[in-house]
Amino acid sequence: MKVEISAKEIIKPSSSTPENLRNFKLSLLDQLAPPTYEPLLLFYFSNSDTGFHFCLKKSLSDTLTRFFPLAGRLKDNITVDCSDYGVVYLEARVDCLLSDFLQQPNADTLKEFLPVEDESIDAAGGEALLLVQSSFFSCGGVAIGVCLSHKFGDAATLSTFIKSWAATSLGSGETVQQPLYNGSSLFPPRAFSEGVIPPPTLLNFTKGKCVVKRFVFAAPKIAALKSIAASASVQQPTRVEAVTALIWKSAMNASRTNLGFSKLSLLSQSVNIRRTTEPPLPENSIGNLLWYFPAQKDESDAELQGLVQELRTGKQDFGKKYVKKLQSKDAYEEVTESLKEELCMLISNDIEFYNCTSLCDFYFYDIDFGWGKPTWVTNISGRSLKNVVRLMDAKGGDGGIEAWVTLEEQDMTLFEEDKELLAYASLNPRVLNITAMDSLKSCL
């Protein structure tokens, strides 16, 4: 399979941003966000034509009038210069059928459908805050790859943007919620003294020679997993808690076997602050409104129920204590102190650090640009960041979960053969079953 870029251009907002909106303030959490891109890939079966290519670009331009900061550039670590520089838009041709590609997608191939590496340092500099790549398969299928700078927003921000773009493409943009730019008022930015920079993000210190693999947990398997993960302390685990705990357990087992001894294991789990404040913030609140709560366990005591309990306790403590601290006048001190504590754990040779991000319940499978709902939606992280887990809803809408897991090579060798893990997860299964693929091939 070959993905060849056929066009590159800059898409600007269809109407100029007013002068009074030209300087957009970041929030404190934006300032502390990692200098990377948040990627999303959506695949569609379609009989697209050149006219629809133009419609995609026109609707993107119209959407940028509402999301005007995305067409800007970072001026410094506080301000986005919203002078309508535009977003990068690429078009590509793919010399294969989408149905063939979906038989067994892999991490290396998926990178070709993204307009930039998600770990690119361009996200921290004066480059585009948003890049898009539309890849057209020989059968008419389409892949939309979107990369949003983490200096501007999180996965929820990306979700709000791409849903607005799709609705505009369908001609129903008026029904979409307008973006709510309230981040800097909730978490005011901090002016750092010369020579002083925000604390380094944890992921910058977790690079290694890694392998990325995809695992899919079907809904019936998750139901069975939840039943054995339940305990008196957590009687009804969520599907994310159950899947995260099993992945964590299997990764710890692999690490302990390869090292020959046990370590303290710390898992940092993302949480959407919008859903934990009192009252909750609107989902269309733009910015990095997420943070991480830690859960820890000794590798020698890695039982599923205990891991679920640690995850639940960490989330409850975050909701009860940490969110209020984030909204206080001492938010910067609280955030930096938390980062310093985790950094000390991270660089310790006695602790194995994991990072898990969940994109479940964002309803990405409802995003329709005019080709119907996507056949597959996925999100994948870079290969150099070890011990990273990314979860999102699996195809089907029945509660299944797809997980991309990044581990060091020797750990992945044992992890992907873990019998308990494979009792509930399938390693890189076909996105479409054989019957569905044959049917589609006959129609395209």
Judge whether 213 and 54 are in contact, CB under 8 Å: no
Count the neighbouring beta carbons within 10 Å of the beta carbon of residue 227.
11
Cα separation, 99 vs 137, in Å, equals 10
Phi-psi category of residue 171: left, alpha or beta, with phi > 0 → left and psi -120 to 50 → alpha: left
Residue 275: exposure state from Cβ atoms within 10 A (0-12, 13-18, ≥19): middle
Helix (H) or strand (E) holding 325: helix 323-326
For residue 320, give the DSSP letter. Answer: I
Q: Three-class SS of residue 386? A: coil
> What's the rounded Cα separation, in Å, for the pair 374 and 381?
20
Is 150 catalytic? The answer is: yes
CB 160 within 8 A of CB 38: no
Residue among 150, 154, 393, 411 flagged as catalytic: 150
DSSP code at position 318: I
Phi, psi for 375 (deg, rounded to 5): -75, -35
Degrees (nearest 5) of the Cα angle 5, 10, 15? 145
Neighbours of 336 (CB within 10 A): 15
Sign of the alpha-carbon torsion through 191, 197, 200, 201: positive
Sheet with 388-393: strands ordered across: 290-298, 264-272, 351-358, 388-393, 401-408, 210-217, 426-427
Q: How far apart are CA 113 and CA 109, in angstroms?
A: 8
Confirm whether 368 is a catalytic residue: yes
Q: What CA–CA distance (Å, rounded) separates 196 from 72?
A: 25
Q: Provide the edge-to-edge strand list for the sheet that holds 73-74.
A: 23-25, 79-81, 73-74
Return d(Cα 256, Cα 265) in angstroms, integer: 10
Q: Strand 3-11's sheet: what is its strand order? A: 3-11, 87-94, 130-137, 142-149, 37-44, 376-378
Q: Give the whole-angstrom CA distance, residue 270 versus residue 77.
A: 23
Catalytic residues: 150, 368
